[in-house]
Amino acid sequence: MAQPQNTAEQSVDQKTIVSMRNVNKWFGQFHVLRDINLSVDKGERIVVCGPSGSGKSTLIRCLNRLEKHQDGDIFVHGIELNNDVKNIDEIRREVGMVFQHFNLFPHLSILENCMLAPIWVRKTPRAEAEEIAMHFLTRVKIPEQASKYPGQLSGGQQQRVAIARALCMQPQLMLFDEPTSALDPEMIKEVLDTMVELADDGMTMICVTHEMGFARRVADRVIFMDEGQIVEQNEPEAFFNNPQSDRTKLFLSQILGH
């Protein structure tokens, strides 16, 4: 996973999907992200963990400009993330996000939820958009719910729809913000299984989660954040079996203890 040390110009279809350098962010006086340096390659699966308030969600939300960073550079898929609206639009097209509380549009059917972005952002004709939507709904294993409304689905089903909705834009990178934290225990598995399949198919993903089993199974790298900084990162085996920092050890003991 070592990166060649060069600053030469690279072509657009490079291997690096995300590059964050010396990124700092403040909420008012509170320094929420401190000196973040991160690089993610195509096809990599990253899991970000850490205690609450450590800035993990803020980190990934900066990647699609749901949060603004005040210092440092962020490049997504070769495009610089700054105040330029065109850049932001381009980046959001290539990055999909799944939220903790699903955020499905309750007044639209499942199918319409999935078709909205392709039609209005990629200007896809309706029939094609429907095909794409059904394809991904089948992929998350709920094609039969297409004409139902979000309020009629269980939490696990809703989250899977949210994943399908994001996939309909065929993004290069998927961001997951604690996707299973709001689910009842019996529904966590179905969502995690979907994510595992996605990972096995080669999707680049950055996942903020507490599900360590998932991390072990799928992650190429596990990143531990605390108080706004990246404290430790490593391959899952090394991370879980041989944590180096004291803070990592403390966190792991708390989360794996019970």
Partner 1 sequence: MTRKIIKAAPKKTTMKKAIPSDIDTQAGYVRIEDAPLLPPPPSEVGVTGWLYKNIFASMSDFGSIPAALKSVFVAVSTLFILYFLITQISGLLDFAIFSAVWSDPEGLKRQACWTVEQGGALPNGWHAACWPFIEAKAKFIFYGAYPNDDLWRVNLTYALGGFMLAWVMIERLPYRKIVGILLLTVYPVMATVLLTGGAFSISTGTIGGATILGLALITIGRLGKAGYVSGAFGDLALVAGVCGWLVILFAAVLAVFAIDFDLEAIDTRDWGGLLITLVVAITGIVASLPLGILLALGRRSEMPVARFLCTVFIEFWRGVPLITVLFMASVMLPLFMPEGVNFDMLLRALIGVTLFSAAYMAEVVRGGLQAIDKGQYEGADAVGLSYWQSMRLIILPQALTHVIPGIVNTFIGLFKDTALVSIVGIFDLLGAAQSTLADAAWSTPVQGLTGYLVVAVIFFVFCFGMSRYSMFMERKLNRSHKS
Partner 2 sequence: MFGRDRSLTSLLNDTFIRGILFQALIAIGLLLSINWLADNTLSNLANQGKTLGFDFLTRTAGFQISPTLGTWMLDYKVGKSTYTDVYLIGIINTFIVALLGILAATVIGFTVGIMRLSDNLVFRWFSSFYVEVVRNVPLLLQLFFWYFAVLRAMPSKREKLELVEGVAGLNITGLYLPAPIVSDGFVYSFLSLIGAVAITFLVRRYALKRQAETGQILPMFWIGLGIIIILPVLVHYLNGSPLDWSLPEFKDTGPKLRQGYQSGAGMVLVPEMLAVWLALSLYTAAFIAEIVRAGILAVSRGQTEAAYALGVRPNITLRLVVIPQALRVIIPPLTSQYLNLTKNSSLAVAIAYPELVSVFAGTALNQVGKEVEMIFMMMMVYLTFSLMTAAFMNWFNSRVKLVER
96 binds partner 2 (CB under 8 A): yes
51 near partner 1 (CB under 8 A):
no
Beta strands (DSSP E) in the chain are 16-27, 30-41, 45-49, 71-76, 79-80, 95-98, 173-177, 204-208, 221-226, 229-234
Per partner kind, with CB cut-offs from 5 to 8 A, the member of partner 2, partner 1, none near residue 141 is none
- Closest CB to partner 2 among 98 and 218? 98
Query: Which of residues 1, 52, 151, 185 is near partner 1 by CB under 8 A?
Result: 1
> Residue 87, Cα to own-chain centre: how many angstroms?
19
Burial class (CB in 10 A: 0-12, 13-18, 19+), 205: buried
Distance of CA 73 to CAs 80, 91, 149, Å?
7, 14, 40
Give the Cα-Cα-Cα angle 178, 77, 127 (nearest 5 degrees). Answer: 75
Site for partner 2 in 154-173 (CB under 8 A): 162, 165-166, 169
Q: Which of 39, 100, 103, 109 binds partner 1 (CB under 8 A)?
A: 39
Query: Is 5 among the residues that bind partner 1 (CB under 8 A)?
Result: yes
Residues 6 or more apart from 67 whose CB is under 8 A from it? 25, 58, 61
Report the residue from 40, 48, 81, 117 that binds partner 2 according to the rule CB under 8 A. Answer: 117
* Site membership for partner 2, residue 82 (CB under 8 A): no
Residue of 5, 12, 28, 123 that binds partner 2 (CB under 8 A): 123
Closest CB 248 distance from partner 1, rounded Å:
8
Candidates 138, 170, 181, 245; binder of partner 1 (CB under 8 A) is: 245
Among 31, 34, 122, 141, binds partner 2 (CB under 8 A): 122
Place of tokens 């994943």: 163
Which DSSP state fits 206? E
Of the candidate residues 125, 170, 200, 253, the single one contacting partner 2 (CB under 8 A): 125
Q: What CA–CA distance (Å, rounded) separates 81 from 15?
A: 18
Cβ atoms of 149 and 69 within 8 Å: the answer is no
Binding site for partner 2 (CB under 8 A): 64-66, 89, 92-93, 95-97, 99, 101, 103-107, 116-117, 119-129, 148-149, 151-152, 162, 165-166, 169
